Structure 1
Amino acid sequence: MSTPEIRDTRAAYRDALIEEHASYVRAGRTAAAEHVARVLLAEYDHDVTPAAPAAEPEPEPVKETAAAEPAPERAVEAPPVKKTAAARKTTARRPAGN
């Protein structure tokens, strides 16, 4: 009879914190990301900050055009809007004999 495999909860918790830090960075929540980074460094001796700032690749040049693209043509034109006259206001008639 073999013994069941015991899960390394410390490693699982560390991995969860690493993923949490990455999600905070993607969401732009720098304060929360910094807090989780400090916990990872203090408790697990794991540094999530990049070792050296990587050189950013140069952006590709944007192809410029002389004119903006025309709006797409419609296959069916919109139906014309009907103009209706506003209802006339009438005053209530008094019954005869008053």
Structure 2
Amino acid sequence: SSATGPSAERVTAEDLAEELDRLRAFTQALQLQHDDEAELRAMEAAALRAEYEARLDAVQRSCDDVVSNSTKCAASGMEQAQQRFDAERRELEASIATLEEDSAE
């Protein structure tokens, strides 16, 4: 199945925490890596660095998506709250107008 569109799996904070834990372990593995051949070590380190940075970029994009989705949800919630408030205010104004008319008679 496709990983795009509304059916795409939502990234949770727990998912991000787990990936960050994996990245920490990955970083520790980089730091602990010892190899006798300097050239081979440099090539491996470059490949590992590229993979690390790609994974870090993916986590950053996921974080950005979560923030973006949270912002959209919050904005939508604010809009709905404003609409409810406006509807209640109109009802109250109508009730007050009715009371004023009744008391004027």
Q: Normalised by the size of structure 2, how large is the TM-score?
A: 0.28
Mark the structure with the bigger radius of gyration.
1
| Structure possessing the higher relative contact order (Cα contacts under 8 Å, 6 or more residues apart) | 2
